[in-house]
Amino acid sequence: MVSVESLGAGPIFGLPLPELWFGLMFALLATFLFLDGFDFGAGAIFGLLDTDRERETVIAAIGPFWDGNEVWLVVFGGALFAAFPEAYATLFSRHYLLMFGILGALILRGLAPEMYEQRHDDRWQQAWSVAFVAGSVLAPFLLGILPVTGSSATRGSLR
Q: Is 12 helix (H, G, I), strand (E, B) or coil?
A: strand
**Per-residue confidence of the chain (159 residues) as pLDDT tens digits?**
555 555 555 666 677 888 888 999 999 999 998 998 998 999 999 989 988 899 989 988 888 888 788 899 999 999 999 999 998 998 888 998 999 999 999 999 989 988 988 998 999 999 999 999 999 999 999 999 987 666 554 454 444
Integer Cα distance of 109 and 132 in angstroms: 5
pTM of the model: 0.77
Instruction: Find out whether 89 and 81 touch, Cβ atoms under 8 Å.
Output: no
For 157, phi then psi, to 5°, come to: -80, -15
List the chain domain ranges.
14-149
Integer Cα distance of 145 and 125 in angstroms: 30
- Which pLDDT does position 9 carry in this prediction? 58
Nearest to 18 by CA among 91, 86, 73: 86
